[in-house]
Structure 1
Amino acid sequence: MASLNVYSVLVVLFLSCGAVMATKENDQIIKKNNCETKMGLPCVLEAFTTILEAGSISNKCFGELVVLGKVCHSALVKRTLENPIFKDLSATTIIAKSIQTWNNCLALIDSPSPST
């Protein structure tokens, strides 16, 4: 029975260390790529409102999101999900919405504009 308790403690420690390492990894990616300086605040708010709640992103912000890059986009979303404020949100749903938002931006940027 004691070995079960030791095993449980080890599992908790392992998971805790993994969460701390994930946070540090996201912070390193964000810092290394200057992610927080690549998008204007209005577009950041627009993108996160779309991902965390509902709504749509303007063409201007689609462009800024693509310039931000997928690595930064993913790291910022993951770091946001680590914030206790968002603990009640489904990480799986939010990550899926962030991927969908990213793909929508790419599709819009890659599609030819209609001629006038």
Structure 2
Amino acid sequence: MAKLSTQLTTLFIVVALVYAIVPVFSVEEVEAKRVWNTCLVKITPKCALDIIDVVFGNGTLSDSCCHDLVKEGKACHDTLIKYISDRPSLIAKETQYLKKRDDLWAQCVSIPKTV
């Protein structure tokens, strides 16, 4: 199971890098890339990968990563997951991923902040 999780995480890193490097041709893609670059600076790379693993795999998210996700904001979270799930290889399960995205958000906002 850990091997599958590692492979899935690696796959999404590669997909993210490819889409970051490939020239952008449409206004929609330019906007998605701008949001992508704006939002990802608000969370650690490990938390970003853990969030992807939760939504697109069977991972778990620590409370500290949940706090980072909430700090990132719902608009960023929604946009980034939608951007990834719109890829041709993932579109068939997009509804499932968007539900997991929303469930993760609800879980994270319900965790009280520690001082």
Using structure 1 for the length normalisation, give the TM-score.
0.65
**Uncovered stretches (5+) of structure 2, i.e. residues with no partner:** 1-25
The aligned residue for residue 26 of structure 1 is 32
Identity over aligned residues, as a percent? 24
Task: Look at both structures and tell me which one has the larger radius of gyration over its CA atoms.
Answer: 1
| Alpha-carbon distance between aligned partners in 1 of 2:35 and 2:47, rounded to the nearest angstrom | 20
**What is the aligned counterpart of 2:112 among 88, 109, 116?**
109
| Alpha-carbon distance between aligned partners in 2 of 1:108 and 1:76, rounded to the nearest angstrom | 22
CA 1:75/1:54 → structure 2, altered by over 3 Å: closer, same or farther? same
**Uncovered stretches (5+) of structure 1, i.e. residues with no partner:** 1-19
**1:27·1:79 contact (CA, 8 Å) conserved in 2?**
no
SS across alignment from 1:63: helix
**1:23·1:79 contact (CA, 8 Å) conserved in 2?**
no
Q: Deviations over 1:57-83 (max 9, x none)?
A: 001101110011000001100111133
Q: Deviations over 1:7-49 (max 9, x none)?
A: xxxxxxxxxxxxx665444334445xx1121111100111110
| Alpha-carbon distance between aligned partners in 2 of 1:23 and 1:100, rounded to the nearest angstrom | 26
| Alpha-carbon distance between aligned partners in 2 of 1:94 and 1:22, rounded to the nearest angstrom | 21
| Alpha-carbon distance between aligned partners in 2 of 1:25 and 1:69, rounded to the nearest angstrom | 17
CA 1:99/1:22 → structure 2, altered by over 3 Å: closer, same or farther? farther
Q: 4+ residue runs of structure 1 moved beyond 2 angstroms?
A: 20-31, 82-87
Q: Deviations over 1:85-109 (max 9, x none)?
A: 434x500000000000000000113
The aligned residue for residue 94 of structure 2 is 91
Using structure 2 for the length normalisation, give the TM-score.
0.66
CA 1:22/1:81 → structure 2, altered by over 3 Å: closer, same or farther? farther
The aligned residue for residue 53 of structure 2 is 49
The aligned residue for residue 79 of structure 2 is 75
Task: Kindly report the root-mean-square deviation, in angstroms, between the aligned alpha carbons of the 2 structures.
Answer: 2.1
